[in-house]
Amino acid sequence: MKSNWKVLTLIALFSSAVTLFAYNLLGFNKRDVILNEASTTPITRLASLTGNAPTGAPGDFSYAAESATPMVVHIRTTMTRTVRQQQMPDIFREFFGDEGMPGMGQGQGRPRREQGQASGSGVIISKDGYIVTNNHVVQDADEVEVIMTDKRSFKAKVIGTDPLTDLAVVKIDANNLPAITLGDSDNLKLGEWVLAVGYPLDLESTVTAGIVSAKGRGIGILSRNMQQQQPGAKAVDTPIEAFIQTDAAINPGNSGGALVNLRGELVGINSAIASATGYYSGYGFAVPVSLVKKVTADLLKFGNVQRGYIGILPRELDSKLATEVGAKVGRGIYVESVTENGAAKAAGIQKGDVIVKMEGAPLDSDAQMREIIGRRRPGDVVNVTINRGGTERDVKVELRNRNGGRDVIKKEEMATSSMKSLGAEFNNLTDKERQQMGVSGGVRVSKIVDGKLAETEIEEGFVILKANGKNVKSVKDLEAIVGTVKEGEGLLLIGMYPNSSRTLYYAVPM
C-alpha cells in the first residue's frame, strides 16, 4: 500500500510538470489569470501504474478527495432586505396623523432593514485568489466571506455573474493558493465515479461519492428561478442547462462546490438538486466544466459573457413532430424559423431543416445544442450537419453577437449604449435618503428627457430598487443590468417614490 502511494505521488508530480496552462489576458492590473488544465493521462493508465483496477469497481476515493478538498472553500453571504409593517389605513391617518392611532404604537408603515445570511461553496481556480461559484450563492449579497479549509477567512469581491448559467466569479486578496486542475467534462462516461466536495447544511468540508447518471440534462430550474425573480417580465435570454446528473449526495450548501473525477480534477460545479423536500433525494446536477471554463474566462476578460447566436427558432425533434412536419429523420433539432440577418441564414440553413450533428457530435436535445454554442463566442465557426429532405449536408456557421455582428461586446460598451437609450439622468441615493426610506441602496430618476423611460408612466423622483430581479444599489449596478438587455426585450424596474410605502413595477421596452 505504501508503494502505491509513492507511485501516486510521482504521478501527481509528473502530471503537474506537464500541466497545460490556459492564459487569459485580463483587464485587471494587467495580470494574467493562470488556470490549470488536466494532462491527457487516462484514468485507466493511472490505475495500471498503481496496481489498482477501478474499471467496474469503486476503488479508492482518498486520492481524489484529499487532492480536491483544500481547493473547495466555504462561502458565507450577508444580505439586507427591507421589511415594511402594515400601513395604517388613510381614514385613520386623517384623524390621528402619521404618529399612529392609540394602541397601534408609533412607526406603523415605516420600513425597517433586516439582515439575512446564506451559505454555499466555491472552487479556487487560480493561485492569486479567483474563485468560481454559483450565481445564486452570491446574488444580492452585501458582503461575501470566503473561509478556507485551514480556517483562514477573507472578504471577497464579486467580479462577475451570469444568471443564464448560474455561475459567478469572486476574488480574494491572497496568493499561492491551491488551485484546482480543470478536467474534461466532454469525456465523462455514464457510470463513471465522481465525488462532490462542498459545505452542505453549513457543515465542515464534506465529500460524497456517486456516479455520472446522465449528461446534457435540462431541468428548467434556471428559467423558473428567473421567472420568480422577475414575474411577468420577458426573459433577457434563454438559460443554458446541460447539467451533469449524479447520484452523489448534494444538499443545500453544496451549491458552487466541486464535482471531481477520480484524479481530483474539476469536471463540474454543483448547482441544483431534484427534490420535493429541498434536500437530497438521489439526484444532483452540476454545470459541466467545459462551460465553466468559457464563462469564467469571459467574466474575467470582458466583464460579461460573450454569447454567440445561431439565429434559429429550434424545436426538439421526436417521432410525433417528425410526422407532423414531414421530416425524414426522427432525432435532431427542427428549424422552425431562421432569423433575418442571422448566422444560420447566412450559412444557408432554411426553415424545415433538421440539425442532426454539431461539431461532429449527434444532436439529440435543445440543451445539448445550447451548451455547444454557449461555449463559443461571436465570430467562432461551428460545424453543423443538416438533413434537408432526406439528404445530409455539412455547413459552417459563423456565430454572431446579439446585435448581429461578429465582434465581442464588452460590458462597458453594452451598458453605455443601453443607458443612453433610456433617455434619463440618474443619481445615487445619499446616506440620509437611504436611511429615511429604509433601504440599503437605490437609484433616483432625477430627470427624464426622452427615450424609453418617457414612453412609460415613470415620473421624476422614482427610486429604482431592482431591475430585472437584481438589486440596484448604485448607478453602476443599473448600468450593468441594463447592459445585458437585448434590443426588443424588456426591462422590469421595481421601486417606489419617496414618502410612499407602495412598491411599483414598470415594464420598459428596450
List binding-site positions.
136, 166, 253-255
Nearest residue to 170 (alpha-carbon basis) of 203, 210, 126:
126
Measured between alpha carbons, how far is 104 from 88 in angstroms, rounded to an integer? Answer: 9
C-alpha cell at 21: 496552462
Query: For residues 351 and 335, is the Cβ–Cβ distance under 8 A?
Result: yes
Report CA 78 to chain centroid distance, whole Å. Answer: 19
CA distance 329 to 335: 13
Sign of CA dihedral 425, 428, 429, 434: positive
The CA-to-CA distance between both ends of the chain, in Å, stands at 65
Cell numbers found for residue 344: 444560420
Collapsing DSSP states into helix, strand and coil, what is residue 361?
strand
Residue of 67, 121, 126, 136 marked catalytic:
136
Is 62 tagged catalytic? no
Burial of 169 from C-beta contacts in 10 A (0-12 / 13-18 / 19+) = buried
How many CB atoms are located within 10 Å of the residue 110 CB?
14
Determine which one of 128, 162, 166, 366 is catalytic.
166
254 by Cβ neighbours in 10 Å (0-12 / 13-18 / 19+) ranks as buried
- In this structure, are residues 236 and 223 in contact, taking their beta carbons and an 8 Å threshold? no
Which residues fall in the annotated binding site for substrate? 136, 166, 253-255
Per the residue annotation, which of 255, 271, 290, 418 is the catalytic one? 255
| Cross-strand partners of 212 | 246
The answer to whether 255 is a known catalytic residue is yes
3-state helix, strand, coil in the chain (%, to 5): 25, 35, 40
Q: Which three cell numbers stand for residue 432?
A: 440620509
* Active-site residue list: 136, 166, 255
